[in-house]
Chain A
Amino acid sequence: MVTTARPTRTDYYKALAANLPARALVVTSLGNASYLWAALHHATENFYFEDAMGLTLPLALGVAISQPDRPVIAVEGDGALLMHLGALVTIGAVNPANLTILLIQNGVHGAAGGQALANASLDLAAVARASGISHAENLTRADLLGERIKSAPERNGTGFLVLATEPDLEVVTPPVSLDPVATKLRFMTAIDAPRYVPTLFGGGMLTRG
Chain B
Amino acid sequence: MTTPTEGAETHRPSAVLNTLKRLGFGVVVSVPDGWLGEMLIRIEQEPTIKLVRATHEEEALAIACGSRLGGVRTALLVQNAGVLSMGAGMVSLAQRYQFPLLMLVSYRGNPEDPVFYHVPKGRVTEPVFRGIGLSHACSDRHRPIGPQVEQAATYAEEASCPFALLLSREDIQW
Which residues of chain B come closer than 8 Å to A180, judged between CB atoms? 96-98
Which residues of chain A come closer than 8 Å to B67, judged between CB atoms? 62-63, 65-66
CB distance from B64 to the nearest CB of A (A): 6
Q: Is the CB of B59 within 8 A of A86?
A: yes
Which residues of chain A come closer than 8 Å to B119, judged between CB atoms? none
Q: Is the CB of A51 within 8 A of B98?
A: no
Complex partner residue of B98 from A49, A64, A181, CB under 8 angstroms:
A181
| Contacting residues of chain A (165-209) with chain B, CB-CB under 8 angstroms | 180-181, 183-184, 187-188, 191-194, 196, 198-199, 204-206
Which residues of chain B come closer than 8 Å to A65, judged between CB atoms? 27, 50, 52, 63, 66-67, 70, 72
Complex partner residue of B54 from A58, A63, A184, CB under 8 angstroms:
A58
Q: Is the CB of B65 within 8 A of A59?
A: yes
Q: Is the CB of B64 within 8 A of A206?
A: no
Main secondary structure of the interface of A (DSSP, over half): helix
Complex partner residue of B63 from A47, A62, A199, CB under 8 angstroms:
A62
Q: How far is the CA of A24 from the CA of B3 in the complex (A)?
A: 49
Query: Quick check: which of A89-97, A102-110, A112-120 contacts chain B, the rest being far away?
Result: A89-97
Q: Is the CB of B59 within 8 A of A87?
A: yes
Q: Is the CB of B98 within 8 A of A184?
A: yes
**Is the CB of B154 closer than 8 A to any CB of chain A?**
yes
Complex partner residue of A62 from B58, B74, B157, CB under 8 angstroms:
B74
CB distance from B31 to the nearest CB of A (A): 10
Given contacts A66-B27, A86-B56, A205-B23, contact A193 B96 (CB under 8 A): no
**Is the CB of A67 closer than 8 A to any CB of chain B?**
yes
Which residues of chain A come closer than 8 Å to B5, judged between CB atoms? none
Complex partner residue of B53 from A63, A93, A181, A183, CB under 8 angstroms:
A93
Q: How far is the CA of A1 from the CA of B50 in the complex (A)?
A: 54
Q: Is the CB of A55 within 8 A of B89?
A: yes
**Is the CB of B73 closer than 8 A to any CB of chain A?**
yes
For B67, give the chain A residue with the smallest CB separation: A62
Q: Is the CB of B96 within 8 A of A62?
A: no
Complex partner residue of B71 from A64, A93, A181, A191, CB under 8 angstroms:
A191
Q: How far is the CA of A56 from the CA of B65 in the complex (A)?
A: 10
**Is the CB of A60 closer than 8 A to any CB of chain B?**
yes
**Is the CB of A84 closer than 8 A to any CB of chain B?**
yes
Q: Is the CB of B69 within 8 A of A63?
A: yes
For A180, give the chain B residue with the smallest CB separation: B97
Q: Is the CB of A206 within 8 A of B58?
A: no
| Contacting residues of chain B (41-59) with chain A, CB-CB under 8 angstroms | 50, 52-56, 58-59
Q: How far is the CA of A65 from the CA of B154 in the complex (A)?
A: 23
Q: Is the CB of B66 within 8 A of A60?
A: yes
Which residues of chain A come closer than 8 Å to B50, judged between CB atoms? 65
Which residues of chain A come closer than 8 Å to B61, judged between CB atoms? 55
Q: Is the CB of A66 within 8 A of B158?
A: no
Chain B interface residues (CB < 8 Å from chain A)? 23-24, 26-27, 29, 50, 52-56, 58-74, 88-89, 92-93, 96-100, 150, 154, 157-158
CB-defined A-B contacts under 8 Å, sample of 17: A50-B92, A52-B92, A52-B93, A61-B52, A63-B70, A65-B66, A65-B70, A65-B72, A66-B68, A66-B70, A66-B74, A87-B55, A89-B55, A90-B54, A180-B98, A183-B97, A191-B70
